[in-house]
């Protein structure tokens, strides 16, 4: 017997969400989705949640269980009952339509922006209207580069806990960027340069903060942050440096390679671009706030032991790359 504390919200009646407790005798081997269905079918028919395949393929049953997103159909209820209770909420970073159902229109719109289709010879940048209908073969090795991204089921679990999305809804998000990597690294696609240039713009690959939540929450082992890092690597190899993120990487590496230490006073300037006057001026208020809070880095850094070893590691890395 366990108590399920479920967030309820009916926009036609409620001003704010609230929690309602349901007591349920959990069957052996039941998933969280099984329990939600039993509550709906036997206790409260007004409870609203999404489900479809019940096989961890469609991604529609994603909810937050005890604070983090999970696929309800894949999650064993017994593993999530803590002290006789389980807390269930709608996934985060999305507008709640009713109870556990959220509006995913914004989430899906991000996929369209990354052009999730093959751009082939003769098809143009839209990927439409190709007159070449021949089979496009791909080696197992080439497919391996896009295999992980191909397993995304678009459940939005990664977006639910994404800190960058929470701070900026214009951010493309880990799911869409993972899908982008699937096409950027596809050996049959000819639009790589255009794709990477677009992804390197604001709200793209450089806006990920490396919190790692998307990797922790993805139920399909897509590892979205790894896909984003792959896109960044491709961008740098191609030579797209005209953005803050790429300049930040170059500045970071240059400082460590040359001196063995990071100069945090100059790095923001190198990241913004020394000729980017509006950007440099925008750093002033941040610098003032840091100074007032005592968070600004020291002008003269204290000596760091074994700096020669740090430089040696970077030199060895540079030689291999």
Task: Please tell me whether residues 234 and 249 are part of one structural domain.
Answer: no
Task: Please tell me whether residues 221 and 273 are part of one structural domain.
Answer: no
| Residues in the chain, pLDDT under 50 | 129
Q: Rounded distance, CA 264 to CA 147, Å? A: 38
Q: Rounded distance, CA 123 to CA 214, Å? A: 33
Residue ending a domain, among 238, 256, 272, is 238
Task: Please tell me whether residues 124 and 179 are part of one structural domain.
Answer: yes
- Total of domains in the chain: 3
Q: Rounded distance, CA 255 to CA 241, Å? A: 17
Task: Please tell me whether residues 154 and 204 are part of one structural domain.
Answer: yes
Q: Rounded distance, CA 257 to CA 274, Å? A: 20
Q: Rounded distance, CA 139 to CA 286, Å? A: 50
Task: Please tell me whether residues 8 and 94 are part of one structural domain.
Answer: yes
Task: Please tell me whether residues 174 and 195 are part of one structural domain.
Answer: yes
The answer to whether the beta carbons of residues 155 and 50 sit under 8 Å apart is no
pLDDT at res. 314 = 78
Determine phi and psi for 40, rounding to 5 degrees: -65, -40
Q: Rounded distance, CA 245 to CA 255, Å? A: 16
Task: Please tell me whether residues 89 and 6 are part of one structural domain.
Answer: yes
Residue ending a domain, among 238, 255, 282, is 238
Task: Please tell me whether residues 188 and 261 are part of one structural domain.
Answer: no
Pairing relationship of beta strands 18-24 and 62-65 according to DSSP bridges: unpaired
The answer to whether the beta carbons of residues 207 and 138 sit under 8 Å apart is no
Q: What is the DSSP string of 214-230?
A: HHHH-TT---HHHHHHH
- pTM of this prediction exceeds 0.85: yes
Q: Rounded distance, CA 61 to CA 54, Å? A: 8
The answer to whether the beta carbons of residues 116 and 175 sit under 8 Å apart is no
For residue 39, what are the contacts with CB-CB under 8 A and spacing of at least 6? 4, 6, 22, 24, 47
Residue ending a domain, among 238, 262, 291, is 238
Task: Please tell me whether residues 97 and 28 are part of one structural domain.
Answer: yes
pLDDT at res. 208 = 95
Task: Please tell me whether residues 286 and 302 are part of one structural domain.
Answer: yes
| Residue 126: domain span | 105-131+139-238
Q: How does pLDDT run across 183-238, given as a tens digit for each residue?
A: 999 999 999 999 999 999 999 999 999 999 999 999 999 999 999 999 999 999 99
Strand partners, 22: 4
Give me the helix-helix angle, 174-184 and 224-238, nearest 10°: 50
Pairing relationship of beta strands 2-8 and 85-89 according to DSSP bridges: parallel
Task: Please tell me whether residues 259 and 314 are part of one structural domain.
Answer: yes
Give me the helix-helix angle, 244-259 and 224-238, nearest 10°: 80
Q: Which two tokens stand for residue 59?
A: 């991604």
Task: Please tell me whether residues 279 and 166 are part of one structural domain.
Answer: no
Which CATH number characterizes residue 42's domain?
3.10.20.30
């Amino acid at each position: 017997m366990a108590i399920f504390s479920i967030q309820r919200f009916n926009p036609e009646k409620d001003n704010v969400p609230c929690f309602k407790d349901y007591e349920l005798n959990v069957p052996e081997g039941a998933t969280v989705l099984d329990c939600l269905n039993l509550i709906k079918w036997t206790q409260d028919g007004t409870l609203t949640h999404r489900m479809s395949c019940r096989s961890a393929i469609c991604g529609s049953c994603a909810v937050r269980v005890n604070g983090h997103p999970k696929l309800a159909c894949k999650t064993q209820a017994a593993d999530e009952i803590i002290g006789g209770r389980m807390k269930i909420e709608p996934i985060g970073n999305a507008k709640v339509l009713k109870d556990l159902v959220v509006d995913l229109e914004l989430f899906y719109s991000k996929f369209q922006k990354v052009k999730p289709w093959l751009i082939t010879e003769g098809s143009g940048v839209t990927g439409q209207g190709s007159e070449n209908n021949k089979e496009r073969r791909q080696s197992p090795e080439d497919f391996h580069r896009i295999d992980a991204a191909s397993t995304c089921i678009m459940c939005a679990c990664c977006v639910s806990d994404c800190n960058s999305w929470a701070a900026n809804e214009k951010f493309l998000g880990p799911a869409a960027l993972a899908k982008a990597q699937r096409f950027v690294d596809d050996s049959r696609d000819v639009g790589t340069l255009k794709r990477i240039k677009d992804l390197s713009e604001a709200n793209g690959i450089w806006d990920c903060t490396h919190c790692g939540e998307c990797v922790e929450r993805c139920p399909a082992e897509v590892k979205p942050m790894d896909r984003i890092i792959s896109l960044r690597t491709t961008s740098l190899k191609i030579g797209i440096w005209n953005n803050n993120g790429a300049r930040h990487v170059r500045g970071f590496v240059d400082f460590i390679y040359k001196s063995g230490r990071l100069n945090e006073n100059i790095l923001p300037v190198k990241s913004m671009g020394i000729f980017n006057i509006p950007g440099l001026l925008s750093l002033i208020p941040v610098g003032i706030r840091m100074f007032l809070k005592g968070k600004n880095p020291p002008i003269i850094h204290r000596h760091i032991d074994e700096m020669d070893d740090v430089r040696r590691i970077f030199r060895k890395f540079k030689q291999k790359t």
